[in-house]
């Protein structure tokens, strides 16, 4: 197995560390948000052992990359426009956006990601440390805000609402907000089957919790959405024209971890994802979701007056 494939093979819901130890109750956990570890510490721990730079370069990560790129190119205002890439990680999307002519500022709380993004940018875009819940931006100063990561690392709904409000506040009237999430069915349950982990009692119990609550103690730094829940969170943040897309489509689990960009299976599965997007029933089968909405064209002052 290549190191890339080993990286991709890391389970989002990991196998239990000690055999026989009961890590999760049989019944769905009620998320105790005051017990959820602080995001920066749990994030740093997770990303210390995980090569985020390589995640989208092979296997189903390539399908996620291509579909994200295609959907953003379809919906973003034309370049040059100001794009705030919040949770931009090591800069994979910021790089092609800058090459397309966008004026990109990447923010991420993990310092190693900011350092890698800065190196990758080579002057094409700027990367700084920052948190989605407190954007250091004047209101209405960007054309588009991307949240391709923060929402699935914020298990507390109040934190997700704050992050979405900050995105809406930062975007100009009529601006675009694009939000990625991990699907409960695709990214939680199907992923456990794909990795042949569902027979492990702790994983089975964690999948049960993810399907019922969106959260599991086995993967405390993650939150998993249903498509309806994600759409409702954007609408509650006053975003308009909200549509939730399935990113990798219903066949993503058939892509081998070692598949490269010239493997036909990657193109075929991405093509099916595009076709299946017309059917709302298949959206949750994708590993990742991408919700896109717009701020009111009359601006937040008008919204408050309603
Ligand atoms: C899986 S990576 C995705 C990186 C990139 N946006 C992409 O789509 O490939 C998730 C990113 O979200 C970042 N993140 C998590 N919580 C965040 C928060 N509260 N504010 C901003 N970024 C956050 C993580 O540090 C990480 O870089």
Let me know if residue 26 belongs to a domain: no
Tokens, residue 85: 């890439």
Contact status, residue 146 vs residue 84, Cβ threshold 8 Å: yes
Contact status, residue 215 vs residue 209, Cβ threshold 8 Å: yes
The atom of ligand 1 lying closest to the CA of 85 is 6
Contact status, residue 102 vs residue 80, Cβ threshold 8 Å: yes
The atom of ligand 1 lying closest to the CA of 148 is 6
Let me know if residue 270 belongs to a domain: yes
Contact status, residue 164 vs residue 234, Cβ threshold 8 Å: yes
pLDDT of residue 48: 80
CATH number of the CATH domain containing 274: 3.40.50.150
- Hey, whose CA ends up nearest to atom 6 of ligand 1? 88
Question: How distant, in Å, are the alpha carbons of 78, 147, 227, 246 from that of 74?
Answer: 9, 17, 20, 15
Residue found under tokens 């405390």: 220
Domain coverage including residue 255: 40-305
pLDDT of residue 16: 61
Let me know if residue 112 belongs to a domain: yes
pLDDT of residue 25: 27
Judge whether residue 301 has pLDDT over 90: no
Give the β-pairing of 171-183 and 142-147. parallel
Let me know if residue 13 belongs to a domain: no
CA of 20 to the centre of ligand 1 (A): 33
- Looking at every residue in the chain, the average pLDDT score rounds to 88
Mutate to test the pocket of ligand 1, among 87, 117, 289 (most ligand atoms within 8 A of CB): 87
Note the pLDDT tens digit of each residue in 168-179.
999 999 999 999
- Hey, whose CA ends up nearest to atom 27 of ligand 1? 89
CA of 65 to the centre of ligand 1 (A): 15
Tokens, residue 198: 């569902």
- b/e code 198-210 from CB counts within 10 Å (16+ = b): bebbbbbbbbbbb
Let me know if residue 182 belongs to a domain: yes
Question: What average pLDDT does this structure show over 13-27?
Answer: 42
Residues 6+ away with beta carbon under 8 Å from 266: 62, 63, 66, 255, 259, 260
Let me know if residue 11 belongs to a domain: no
Note the pLDDT tens digit of each residue in 142-190.
999 999 999 999 999 999 999 999 999 999 999 999 999 999 999 999 9
Tokens, residue 294: 């717009």
Let me know if residue 19 belongs to a domain: no
Let me know if residue 31 belongs to a domain: no
In degrees, rounded to 5, the angle at the alpha carbon of residue 83 between the alpha carbons of residues 82 and 87 is 155
Note the pLDDT tens digit of each residue in 209-221.
999 999 999 999 9
Confidence of residue 276 (pLDDT cuts 50, 70, 90): very high
Contact status, residue 112 vs residue 51, Cβ threshold 8 Å: no
pLDDT of residue 40: 53
Judge whether residue 21 has pLDDT over 50: no
E runs forming strands in 118-218: 126-129, 142-147, 171-183
Q: Is 91 touching ligand 1 by the criterion CB < 6 Å?
A: no
Question: How distant, in Å, are the alpha carbons of 32, 165, 271 from that of 62?
Answer: 35, 30, 12
Tokens, residue 118: 């800065």
DSSP string, 61-81: HHHHHHHHHHHHHHHSPPSS-
CA of 238 to the centre of ligand 1 (A): 23
Note the pLDDT tens digit of each residue in 112-141.
999 999 999 999 999 999 999 999 899 999
Contact status, residue 8 vs residue 55, Cβ threshold 8 Å: yes
The number of folded domains in the chain is 1
CA of 306 to the centre of ligand 1 (A): 34
């Amino acid at each position: 197995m290549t190191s890339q494939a080993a990286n991709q093979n890391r389970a989002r819901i990991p196998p239990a560390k000690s055999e026989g130890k009961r890590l999760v109750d049989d019944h769905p956990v009620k998320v105790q948000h005051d017990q959820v570890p602080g995001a920066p510490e749990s994030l740093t721990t997770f990303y210390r052992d995980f090569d985020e730079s390589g995640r989208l370069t092979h296997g189903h990560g390539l399908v996620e990359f291509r579909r994200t790129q295609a959907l953003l190119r379809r919906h973003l205002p034309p370049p040059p426009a100001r794009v705030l890439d919040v949770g931009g990680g090591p800069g994979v999307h910021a790089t092609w956006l800058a090459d397309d002519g966008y004026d990109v500022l990447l923010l991420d709380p993990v310092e190693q990601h900011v350092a890698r993004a800065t190196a990758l940018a080579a002057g094409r875009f700027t990367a700084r440390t920052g948190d989605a819940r407190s954007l250091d931006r004047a209101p209405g100063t960007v054309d588009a805000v991307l949240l391709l990561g923060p929402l699935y690392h914020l298990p507390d709904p109040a934190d997700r609402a704050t992050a979405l409000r900050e995105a809406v506040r930062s975007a100009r009237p009529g601006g675009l907000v694009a939000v990625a999430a991990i699907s409960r069915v695709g990214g939680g349950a199907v992923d456990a089957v794909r990795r042949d982990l569902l027979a492990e009692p702790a994983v089975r119990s964690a999948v049960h919790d993810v399907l019922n609550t969106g959260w599991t103690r086995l993967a405390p730094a993650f939150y998993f959405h249903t498509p309806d829940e994600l759409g409702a969170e954007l609408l509650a943040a006053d975003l308009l024209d909200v549509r939730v897309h399935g990113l990798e489509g219903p066949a993503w689990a058939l892509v081998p971890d070692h598949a490269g960009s010239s493997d036909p299976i990657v193109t075929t599965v991405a093509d099916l994802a595009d076709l299946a997007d017309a059917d709302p029933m298949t959206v949750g089968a994708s590993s990742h979701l991408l919700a896109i909405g717009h701020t009111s064209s009359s601006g937040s002052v008008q919204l408050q007056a309603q």
